[in-house]
A and B are shown apart, each in its own frame.
Chain A
């Protein structure tokens, strides 16, 4: 295979292709310094940077749709696991108390801090789940060049939701709490704890897996059909 001058080359071109676009000639504007640039289609594994301030304009991630869909689905499934199993439990002097992920918001609500409970629920469960589900909803049909109904609106809200999904921050909070509690009681870490750690990883990989410019370029092509 590798010896053939022509066919090896052909395979390579297929592997390193740029994503489809409606308009071949595109422009890109730097979000930081507003410098105007040409936005050429680039092969996989290339990042395009601003000539003025050096920040990234866009990048072509290898296997982007597969990554977004696979990690997004994994994040969703693990989120279900994280909801259904015990997160942390502790025992002291024969008394046992455990918590689940939903329990954390519910107990705040029971204490009368409804606003805080809603905020915690939004940042740790609703926003991350919606983010993963939205990404899969948009990216899965894009693998066949199609768009499901409402894909444009979903994609629009996807990027507005992103900063409020705080699984990784909650995870750090749980670790800090564990370090506090170890001195007070016997602590045991549940399945949901590890599941949430995996959600954190998968969600980050899913979002980083596809550049927003690529997602929208592909979506635009799909919507025109």
Chain B
């Protein structure tokens, strides 16, 4: 596909011109109209209370992450009455010891690495948007894009539980039940997805612009 770099009609952000683009249909309209003239969705230049909402959802997901890892995600009932409770990490270790490396790595990446990295990334983005951390808008935008795209893949473990519980119903030979961690972990994924959705990446650019302005003012002051 050919690339074409769009031309700005005049320099500056849409917000500075009193314009907003609709989140649903991409149409650009004056913010004063409040609702998109084309699709009727609510118009806003910046998502409302974005940092607070993202942080609240993020904290909730961190809290849910504790039972998701401490409690069993699957309970295996063996022939002869023995029951065995599997946590997420326990499952990864079992598969590693069984030399099932691809399965172990997939579960480890989807259930441990991705959620933790996503939480750190969102925390960092919030800190940058709030002005507590120095920022490079372009790089942070890429991080934000990654958190949005990769986050959903964590749901893999929940689906694995659904498939295993359904299939392993072999009478009195072996039965698998879902553990409380399955719901907790699904909660973690949904909460981090919602947190990423309520984050406003344009705050990063506002910050970068404000920083540049301040620098210019400081230089003018020196002269």
Contacts and interface: CB of A to CB of B under 8 A. Distances in A.
Given A38-B6, A107-B169, A166 B152 contact: yes
Nearest to A116: B183
A179 B103 contact: yes
Contacts of B205: 32-35, 52-53
B24 interface: yes
Nearest to A90: B167
A35 B163 CA distance: 46
B5 A49 contact: yes
Contact of B8 (A37, A45, A166, A212): A37
A9 interface: no
A103 B166 contact: yes
Interface in A170-211: 170, 172-174, 176-177, 179-181, 183-185
A16 B28 CA distance: 25
B163 A99 contact: yes
A80 interface: no
Contact of A172 (B138, B156, B167, B204): B156
B159 to A, nearest CB: 3
Contacts of B174: 184
Given A54-B138, A163-B152, A183-B98, A216 B5 contact: no
B157 to A, nearest CB: 7
A39 B8 CA distance: 9
Contacts of A95: 170-171, 173
Contacts of A92: 170, 173
In this complex, the member of B12, B41, B173, B193 whose beta carbon has the largest number of chain A beta carbons within 10 angstroms is B173
B171 A35 contact: no
Contacts of A155: 24-25, 39
Interface in A24-55: 26-29, 31-40, 42, 45-55
A213 interface: yes
Interface in B69-107: 95, 98, 100, 102-103, 106-107
Output the residue of B27, B153, B173 with the most chain A CB within 10 A.
Answer: B27
A81 interface: no
Contacts of B21: 27-29, 31
A89 B170 CA distance: 11
A120 interface: yes
Given A38-B9, A179-B100, A124 B169 contact: no
A58 B159 CA distance: 34
Contacts of A77: none
Contacts of A184: 168, 174
Interface string B188-202: 001001000100011
B163 A174 contact: yes
B156 A176 contact: yes
Contact of B167 (A27, A32, A99): A99
B221 interface: no
Given A45-B1, A55-B141, A176-B106, A169 B159 contact: yes
A39 B19 CA distance: 14
A180 B103 contact: yes
Contacts of B106: 172, 176
Nearest to A115: B183
B22 to A, nearest CB: 8
Nearest to A43: B2
Interface string B4-15: 111111101111
26 contacts: A27-B14, A28-B26, A32-B145, A36-B8, A36-B9, A38-B8, A42-B4, A47-B2, A50-B5, A53-B141, A53-B205, A58-B26, A95-B170, A95-B173, A97-B168, A97-B169, A99-B166, A120-B162, A155-B25, A155-B39, A159-B24, A166-B152, A169-B159, A173-B158, A179-B103, A180-B160
8 closest Cβ pairs, A-B complex: A173-B159, A29-B21, A37-B6, A216-B25, A27-B28, A177-B163, A107-B166, A29-B14
